């Protein structure tokens, strides 16, 4: 059911295209209020995701280790260079924010694994509709970075679908809740950046999403 990932990516592209077209015709004061709306909503979403945590020490360890890995690789700087090369100043924030919002959540993991194991793509189709609507608003603020996050959706969800038989353990609450909480902290950081409160270089924390399940597995052995 790789078609589910394709449809989800297409929904993001369509929504982003509408958002980018709207962005060009919006007065500056309307753009500003949209920034606030996106920033405040992102902070709120991040908090709700964090509240799902099982073990905050796992989350802290994931963020610390993932942040170190990301800082060594310097993911954030790479994304900034991409943005500069295409003259898209907000590329990094738009790409990271939308990738996190579209991919870090139970609908992505449970929906993709269900599609892979049973062929039922209904969860992802519903998610595609929601992502399409969200991308309109996000792209009206951040432009092309949001559209290119469709590649993240296609690749990550596609990998989960193809590997569903081996990744089904991620649907267990012991793994899922801490993974969502790690994502929630990053989403909260994105919200703070959007509101211009603090730039926490969230892109460099992306490896934490891969560290979290590994730490949960290690802790479960003791």
**Number of structural domains in the chain:** 1
**Which uninterrupted H or E stretch holds 93?**
helix 91-103
Q: Please, which pLDDT band fits residue 143 given cuts at 50, 70 and 90?
A: confident
CB of 203 within 8 A of CB of 92?
Answer: yes
CB of 132 within 8 A of CB of 17?
Answer: no
The separation between the first and the last C-alpha atoms of the chain, rounded to the nearest angstrom, is: 37
Residue range 165-210, pLDDT digits in tens: 899 999 999 999 999 999 999 999 989 988 889 888 899 999 999 9
**What range defines the domain where residue 95 resides?**
3-220
Residue range 39-73, pLDDT digits in tens: 899 899 999 999 989 999 999 999 999 999 999 99
Mean pLDDT across the stretch 146-159?
94
Distances (CA, A) of 34 to 12, 46, 134, 164, 189: 19, 18, 12, 37, 18
pLDDT of residue 150: 95
Distances (CA, A) of 46 to 110, 190, 218: 19, 9, 26
Q: What is the pTM of this model?
A: 0.85
| SS3 of residue 190 by DSSP | helix
CB of 187 within 8 A of CB of 57?
Answer: no
């Amino acid at each position: 059911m790789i078609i589910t990932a394709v449809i989800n990516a297409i929904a993001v592209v369509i929504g982003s295209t509408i958002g980018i077209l709207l962005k060009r015709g919006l007065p500056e004061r309307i753009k500003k209020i949209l920034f606030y709306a996106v920033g405040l909503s992102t902070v709120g979403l991040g908090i709700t995701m964090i509240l799902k945590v099982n073990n905050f020490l796992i989350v802290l360890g994931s963020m610390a280790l993932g942040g170190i890995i990301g800082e060594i690789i310097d993911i954030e700087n790479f994304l900034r260079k991409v943005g500069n090369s295409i003259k898209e100043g907000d590329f990094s924030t738009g790409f990271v924010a939308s990738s996190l919002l579209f991919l870090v959540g139970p609908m992505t993991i449970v929906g993709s694994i269900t599609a892979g194991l049973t062929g039922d793509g209904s969860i992802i189709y519903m998610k595609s509709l929601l992502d399409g609507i969200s991308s309109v608003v996000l792209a009206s603020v951040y432009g092309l970075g949001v559209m290119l996050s469709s590649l993240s959706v296609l690749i990550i969800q596609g990998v989960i679908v193809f590997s569903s038989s081996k990744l089904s353990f991620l649907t267990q609450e012991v793994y899922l809740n801490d993974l969502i909480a790690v994502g929630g902290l990053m989403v909260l950081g994105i919200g703070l950046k959007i509101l211009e409160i603090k730039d926490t270089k969230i892109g460099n924390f992306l490896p934490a999403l891969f560290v979290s399940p590994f730490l949960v597995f290690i802790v479960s052995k003791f």
